[in-house]
Structure 1
Amino acid sequence: MSARAAATAVGLVAAAGAGAVAYGTFVERKQYTLRTATVPVLPPGSAPLRVLHLSDLHMAPWQTDKQQWVRELARLDPQLIVDTGDNLGHRDGLAGIKAAFDVFAGIPGVYVHGSNDYFGPSFKNPLRYFLGPSKHAHRVEKLDTDALTAYFDSLGWKNLNNAAVTTEVQGTIIDFFGVDDPHRHFDRLDRIPGALDALLEDDDRGPRLRIGVAHAPYQYVLNSFVTHGAEVVFAGHTHGGQVCVPGYGALVTNCDIPRKQVKGLSLWRHGFRSAFLNVSAGLGTSIYAPFRFACRPEVTLLTLTSRP
């Protein structure tokens, strides 16, 4: 190959790379997408239940396009909201969350926190993500997590951080249980058996659904959820890989979940049991890594239907 041809090839590769970065930063990162799926898990004869799964908004106050897009989801008339954390992406992110979520006040909901609901974002070398799950920065800004919790409570949503609750939605009795962020080791799986037992002590109502909720889908958490009878599990954290290769998929998961289950609906099997697992690719990115490629930001609308 001549020197001119080699220089041309290098130039083309550099131009393609620059184009991909520009596309991922200015175009795909804002291509907000609604993914839908049907999950046959309700007791026979139950009415369908529309569940809106929100995750990883990483909200900054100036992201008004994202806030408007989320507000418009109210037109879907969701009957239950599940929020799997990392809502905040800036010290003033709660203002943006309120602008986006106020329309959901009064709709039954549950939530857990992610690490970014406790600590502000910080610059990290993005190449480090390819070496394994992200490490925790030593110097981080603590966010007002109590204010976020109080806001979600004011919407009428139930706190599942290392807790369990029972609620009835559209005639279906649902036992929810969840853990605080496993990525930061805030989870207390040891509390779940007692919390679930307490739910059933004075509640002898008929057939019910059991749902597990966590931010980060580490395998030990998913296995525990299945062991404790979860029929559906909701999680986020992975961003769907955030940077994917068409035809290959995610390069990383930021936890130990298999790449093929980094986003979307799948089955998680453990022992002789299984549960439907919905991992959201999330709607945002860190303000220090505002880039997505072949992995659009998303919210999921799941329709739960009767079991066969």
Structure 2
Amino acid sequence: MKLTPKVTKRLLNIASAIGAAGIAGAGIAAWGHAELRKFELKQVSLPLLAPGTLRGRDEFTILHISDLHMIPGQDTKIAWVSALDALNPDLVVNTGDNLSDAHAVPDVLRALGPLLNRPGMFIFGTNDYWAPRLANPFSYLFKRRNTPSYVDLPWRDMRAAFIERGWQDATHRRLEFQVGPVRIAAAGVDDPHHDLDDYQQIAGAPNVDADLSLALLHAPEPRVLAQFAEDGYQLSLSGHTHGGQLCLPGSTAIVTNCGIDRARVQGLHTFGGMLMHVSNGLGTSKFVPFRLFCRPSATLLRISERPD
């Protein structure tokens, strides 16, 4: 069939548009991949403690880290995370998904190395237990949970190393301990995104004699947040969402990959009268190595006394 000049011109325009779209897409992908190494430290101030608790100190600091999703060889991430020790946090809280590869435990320990010398506690996410798998991206848009691979990762070795260095496992446990002048009551559940939680094991109000009560859960699922809030916890810490990961300008999330609403997918908010902090996380799945308008981060929570 002989093409007329008009048809030929139209086909050339279509081809040009497709080519331009391809180039733009490649540029966005390259930018999104480069964002993976542009780590940020967020800082939040919270006047939660009763007057006199700190005995003259200005604040009690908690370093919240989550979602390392470590892959061997991520030296920039290892160096950045280990340098957080210079912040001298009073307490470190790790809310899970440390692994994204079966051989990544040594690199996780390298990244967290100096922080493991500080008081700390942790819970795990499903990506600590099972290897990541390539998922249908449309499942996130339609709020469908992806089935885990159920290919075991060496999480038990990582857990043993954390505990040996002094961190406490808060999974389905109620913890009470003191760091400096601050008496802490904490409790955690296993990853609620895949229904691994059993809140009844920790149900009940935190010790009334505690100065600060903390709730730990990997994914900020509303049904579990509601139970922590009803029991009277002051602050919940979670991750999982990656802050939305692929966001619109202004860090506006498109999806949350859990039951929490998009407005509370990252940062500090409230839930049922309880404060909640959701970390952007420090990594991504090895199968989706991109971030848009949502850089990887850790957060330093500066806990001070309430005004008189």
TM-score higher than 0.5: yes
Q: Which amino acid aligns with 1:159?
A: D
**1:136 paired residue number:** 147
Q: Could you tell me how far 1:207 is from its partner in structure 2?
A: 5.1
Superposed CA deviations along residues 171-209 of structure 1, whole A, max 9, x for unmatched, are 011100110111121111011126x67xx5xxx8x4521
Matches within 5 A, 1:73-152: 73-137=84-148, 139-152=149-162
Question: Which AA in structure 2 matches 1:222?
Answer: L
1:154 aligned residue: 164
Q: Classify 1:239/1:248 alpha carbon distance in 2 versus 1 (closer, same or farther; 3 Å).
A: closer
CA offset digits 1:89-108 (Å, max 9, x no partner): 11111111111111123311
Pick one of 232, 252, 256 that aligns with 2:255: 252
Q: Which residue of 2 aligns with 1:240?
A: 243
Alpha-carbon shift at residue 140 of structure 1 (Å): 3.3
Question: Are 1:192 and 2:202 matched, yes or no?
Answer: yes
User: Partners of 1:22 and 1:134 in 2: how far apart?
Assistant: 28
- Give me the identity figure in percent: 37
1:208 corresponds, among 211, 219, 235, to 211
Instruction: Kindly provide the amino acid, as one letter, of the partner of residue 265 in structure 1.
Output: L
Counterpart contact for 1:133–1:253, Cα < 8 Å? no
Counterpart AA for 1:105: L
For normalisation by structure 1, the TM-score amounts to 0.90
Q: One-letter code of the match for 1:134? A: R
1:36 match: 43
In structure 2, distance between residues paired with 1:227 and 1:128: 31
| 2:284 matched residue in structure 1 | 285
1:266 Cα deviation (Å)?
A: 1.0
Q: Does 1:15 align with 2:19?
A: no
Aligned amino acid, residue 18 of structure 1: A
Partner SS state of residue 244, structure 1 = coil
Matched, 1:181 2:191: yes
Aligned-residue offset at 1:46: 2.8
**Which of these residues, 162, 174, 197, is aligned with residue 164 of structure 1?**
174
Partner-residue secondary structure (3-state), 1:21: helix
TM-superposed deviation, 1:23: 0.8
SS at match of 1:105: helix
Say if 2:70 and 2:101, in contact at 8 Å, map to a contact too.
Answer: yes
Asked whether the 8 Å contact 1:43–1:207 carries over to 2, the reply is no
The letter of the residue matching 1:286 is S
TM-score normalised to structure 2 length: 0.90
In structure 2, give the amino acid aligned to 1:15.
I
**Within 2, Cα distance between the matches of 1:207 and 1:191?**
20
